[in-house]
Amino acid sequence: PVVKYRKDYQPSQYLIKNTNLLFQLFDDYTLVTSELKITRNPLDNRETLLPIELDGVELELVSIHLDGQVLDDSDYEKRAHTLIINKVSETFNLTTVVKILPHKNTSLEGLYTSSGKYCTQCEAEGFRKITFYLDRPEVMSEFTVRIEGDKAKYPLLLSNGNPVDRGELTDGRHFVAWHDPFVKPSYLFALVAGDLDCLEDTFTTMSGREVKLELYVDKGKLDQCRFAMDSLIASMKWDEQEFGREYDLDLYMIVAVSDFNMGAMENKGLNIFNTKYVLANKKTATDADFEGVERVIAHEYFHNWTGNRITCRDWFQLSLKEGLTVFRDQKFSEDMQSAAVERIDQVKIIRAAQFAEDSGPMAHPIRPDSYIEMNNFYTVTVYNKGAEVIRMMHTLLGKTGFRKGMDLYFDRHDGQAVTCEDFIKAMEDANGKDWSLFRNWYRQAGTPVLKVDLEKLADGHFRLNCEQSCPATPGQEHKNPFMLPIKVGFLNNTGHPVKFAETNDAAGVDETLLVMTETKQSFDIYCESDSLVPSLLRDFSSPVKLEYSYTQEELASLFAADPNPFNRWDAGQTLMTQMLMSETSKLTEDELSVVDNAFIKILNDEELDNALKSLAVMVPELNSLIGMSDNVKLDQLFAKHKQLKVHLGEKLEHTWFSIYNTTSGDTSGDRWLRNTALRYMMIANDEQHFELAATQQTHADNMTDELAALQVIANASEGYRSEYIEQFYQKWKEEELVMDKWFTAQVVNDDEAILEHVKALLNHEKFSIENPNKVRAVVGAFVAGNTSQFHNPTGQGYEFLADIIIQLNKINPQIAAGLAKQFNQWRKFDSKRQALIQEQLVRIKSLDNLSNDVFEVVDKSLQ
Ligand code: DPP
Ligand code: ZN
């Protein structure tokens, strides 16, 4: 496998002005004819014209013409992944015909079929599985596409842009031609052919243009589309209001397909979506599903400006569009839902998954320096930490300054393929800043540790001493300091928020933003109070690990009264984390009562909304605890984690019961709290409360409640399970997405025997190893969601995962590699588990025909 380095970047010597494609879809194969108008890149300053190397993978070359002349065998060379044409001029036309096999394509990259329809996925480097091309994002071309296929089977033939021609052919075939007036890189190309239902609507843009909106789904699913359409309309409006960005084509299409590696894809004018992020109605989708749909619809729509109009120069710059677009979808969700709840969800992802990645063998900066397989770098670091970095800019500049920077970025770079550096520069220039230091966020991997203490210098005068450091990561021993925005406030010794000042004579404020730019820095605080409890890093203002030696009482007082809802939640999490991760093998009675007292206060707080209450009374997830630390005693952690949950269930059983019976269930917050109560009640006594859960499952009029009940039932003691699991199955077996939930509910049971059940599910008629959603629902959910059984000391969980990775390596390398990353944390565990995981990694690495995707992950893990 070849490693590609960011430092080796050179502009492409050639560009493709026009791309003219003909797709002829036949039952067993597809013919792709491509006519490319190629010119020399004006940015190229090499002395000689080199042979042109086109990318192409798994293509059968049928014919090749250069400027209308057939090419001799000696004029070109076809290798495994490239087609090299030796003698070309400054401008020329190249025509190739290739044969491809979409029906056999299980990698779900390039052109493939999914339940009877054709669709594409080209990002990052899938277009080379369709035709020979300069498959790199800086090559932006004007596309014309003609699709021919059987009219009865494929009445719909879609591609990017606007339809410009259509007509009948012989043998029951027809064609449609498309033209996309916007130049685009190949990764944004899309094609769909099928027989689908369509929900139509329109949107009038801020300048008064009418845009047609079309949402295509499998037949019979129209009643699950309204929410996605409304989310699209809301996103279009929001981007106009918040960023002044208007949609640019007259048509916006979304097609939902069941077999999809990612969540969705932002192809110009023709988004292709995983059904999971389109289909939703109250009966089939949970409240969390609705939020997911709204977020992903918005994300792909926002890419039209941040990604499509302005794209990436090369794939090392992926965070340019992804970090920024995640940040934009986060802001959108904060405006649509509760800002605090959204922020908590965002930070949970950072702590559980991104901190884990940052401390493992695949740690990389948000702008990576090298990769073997680009697909491995669609990571929580590039996406979610990338979004945190953009958020810090927003925090430092404020909403107005950030908007100025965005406006300048759009003005300067519309229609271009640019770099992360161009984005930072626009932010700097628009605001007159020098952000040399800020760039370390783009260069350095690893999670910074921020250590803070509070010193009392005199009555009314305190000092916050801050020190930052960042652990070594692969290839980066020494780290320079980061620029850290630190939002702070204070409580006094009676647990009330107090005003304070940064200088002796300034007026008091409730909150301030400290900006740290050095390794060590101190900040003076003036406040008339005997003692202070600092509320640090409010809203998680920098993506760091905070260390402050809070006492349990201090944390309890922040948990009870911090006016910043994020920090209030976080204080509870920190309180429980400290106890769970301490050296002791059991929690003491004192510790347990600190938590249950704190919970009672939260649950009785009439000001706090139910969604925040539910979040506050959740014990930190095992993944998050593992992700945050470098060294984990798993058995001890599992035991204490269980002890805490059982204690909270039992001790507060009456409270849970009364919440369950008095909370209405009309809003998502209500349902959440009620189902949280049900979960704790079942932990306390599943025999006694079983009837409640069974009744809820049977009579629920919405999937949130129905699934919550199924989940607790599937987790109850043996003997209770099958009847209700079967009932759910019979009711929902025709709804694929509901079946995914049904599978997942069954794999998280903390029972030794669960692995056998998981294996049996792989043979279930509704399971398919070729469908990524199903793999995620069973295997992904077991590995990531059943932490204690995945890490069963026998090693059987590890062997199981390795078996699946080996099987998927051939079928779908991208999904296989994603699963292989689940082994990446192995060096944090005890030596026995380390040996067991290492054995599996070695077994995978020794495979013949190991894909680049999986190789890169296991090789780095073993280094
Ligand atoms: N479709 C993926 C996303 O939107 C990759 N661009 O993040
Ligand atoms: Zn994206």
Q: What are phi and psi of 367, to 5 degrees?
A: -115, 95
pLDDT single digits (tens) 268-278: 999 999 999 99
- pLDDT at position 425: 98
Cβ of 374 closer than 6 Å to ligand 1, yes or no, is no
- pLDDT at position 283: 98
Contact present, 450 and 545 (Cβ < 8 Å): yes
Query: Which residues are registered as beta bridge partners of 520?
Result: 467
User: Per-residue pLDDT for 720 more than 70?
Assistant: no
Output the CA angle 697-703-706, nearest 5 degrees. 10
Both tokens of 81, joined, read 């992944």
Active site residue 342: no
User: Per-residue pLDDT for 155 more than 80?
Assistant: yes
Q: What mean pLDDT is predicted for residues 184-212?
A: 98
H or E stretch including 526?
strand 520-526
- pLDDT at position 628: 87
Cβ of 264 closer than 6 Å to ligand 1, yes or no, is yes
ipTM of the complex: 0.98
Question: 435 alpha carbon to ligand 1 midpoint, in Å?
Answer: 28
Distance (Å, whole) CA 217 – CA 198: 6
**For residue 383, which atom of ligand 1 is closest to its CA?**
7
pLDDT single digits (tens) 628-672: 899 999 999 999 999 999 999 999 999 999 999 999 999 999 999
**For residue 264, which atom of ligand 1 is closest to its CA?**
1
**Protein residue with least CA distance to atom 3, ligand 1:** 265
**Topology (CATH) of 1-195:** Immunoglobulin-like (2.60.40)
pLDDT single digits (tens) 225-266: 999 999 999 999 999 999 999 999 999 999 999 999 999 999
Distance (Å, whole) CA 550 – CA 573: 13
- pLDDT at position 2: 96
| Cβ count near 664 (within 10 Å) | 9
User: Per-residue pLDDT for 626 more than 70?
Assistant: yes
Q: For 803-839, give the DSSP string.
A: HHHHHHHHH-HHHHHHHHGGGTTGGGS-HHHHHHHHH
pLDDT single digits (tens) 115-129: 999 999 999 999 999
With 0-12 / 13-18 / 19 or more C-beta atoms within 10 angstroms meaning exposed / middle / buried, residue 847 is: middle
Distance (Å, whole) CA 481 – CA 466: 12
Contact present, 712 and 678 (Cβ < 8 Å): yes
Q: Which ligand does the CA of 267 lie closest to?
A: 1
Domain ranges of the chain: 1-195, 311-443, 449-542, 733-863
Give me the numbers of helices (H) and strands (E) for the chain, helices first please: 29, 32
**For residue 326, which atom of ligand 1 is closest to its CA?**
7
Distance (Å, whole) CA 578 – CA 592: 12
The CATH number corresponding to 311-443 among 3.40.50.1980, 1.10.390.10, 3.40.50.2000, 3.30.390.50 equals: 1.10.390.10
- pLDDT at position 87: 86
Cβ of 322 closer than 6 Å to ligand 1, yes or no, is yes
The closest alpha carbon to 182, from 131, 249, 270, 255, belongs to 249
Q: What mean pLDDT is predicted for residues 215-231?
A: 98
Cβ of 262 closer than 6 Å to ligand 1, yes or no, is yes
Average pLDDT, the chain: 97
Q: Say what the pTM is.
A: 0.99
* Mutation to probe ligand 1, out of 122, 260, 266, 311 (largest number of atoms < 8 A from CB): 266
Distance (Å, whole) CA 547 – CA 260: 41
**Protein residue with least CA distance to atom 7, ligand 1:** 322
Residue 630 DSSP code: S
719: confidence class by pLDDT, cuts 50, 70, 90: low
Distance (Å, whole) CA 274 – CA 296: 10
Cβ of 123 closer than 6 Å to ligand 1, yes or no, is yes
* Mutation to probe ligand 1, out of 378, 380, 383 (largest number of atoms < 8 A from CB): 378
Cα 730 to its chain centre, rounded Å, is 32
**Protein residue with least CA distance to atom 1, ligand 1:** 265
CB neighbour list of residue 217: distance below 8 Å, 6 or more residues apart:
196, 197, 198, 199, 224, 225, 255, 256, 275, 278, 279
Distance (Å, whole) CA 300 – CA 439: 27
Class in CATH terms, 449-542: mainly beta
Question: 276 alpha carbon to ligand 1 midpoint, in Å?
Answer: 15
Share of the chain above pLDDT 70, in %: 100
Contact present, 624 and 641 (Cβ < 8 Å): no
- pLDDT at position 762: 98
Question: 308 alpha carbon to ligand 2 midpoint, in Å?
Answer: 10
Share of the chain above pLDDT 90, in %: 98
**91 versus 750: which is more confidently predicted?**
91
- pLDDT at position 721: 73
Question: 264 alpha carbon to ligand 1 midpoint, in Å?
Answer: 6
716: confidence class by pLDDT, cuts 50, 70, 90: confident
- pLDDT at position 170: 98
Cβ of 265 closer than 6 Å to ligand 1, yes or no, is yes
**For residue 296, which atom of ligand 1 is closest to its CA?**
4
pLDDT single digits (tens) 316-341: 999 999 999 999 999 999 999 999 99
| Strand spans (E) along 548-590 | none
Class in CATH terms, 733-863: mainly alpha
pLDDT single digits (tens) 340-379: 999 999 999 999 999 999 999 999 999 999 999 999 999 9
Distance (Å, whole) CA 212 – CA 156: 16
Cis previous bond, 190, omega within 30 = no
Single-letter residue type at 484: L
Both tokens of 790, joined, read 């995945």
Q: Which ligand does the CA of 121 lie closest to?
A: 1
Active-site residue among 300, 322, 357, 591? Answer: 300
Question: 149 alpha carbon to ligand 2 midpoint, in Å?
Answer: 31
Same fold: 311-443 with 733-863: no
Distance (Å, whole) CA 32 – CA 142: 17
Cα 34 to its chain centre, rounded Å, is 34
- pLDDT at position 501: 98
Cβ of 329 closer than 6 Å to ligand 1, yes or no, is no
- pLDDT at position 295: 98
Residue 151 DSSP code: T
Q: What mean pLDDT is predicted for residues 177-205?
A: 98
Instruction: Kindly report the length of the chain.
Output: 863
User: Per-residue pLDDT for 593 more than 90?
Assistant: yes
User: Per-residue pLDDT for 695 more than 90?
Assistant: yes
- pLDDT at position 717: 73
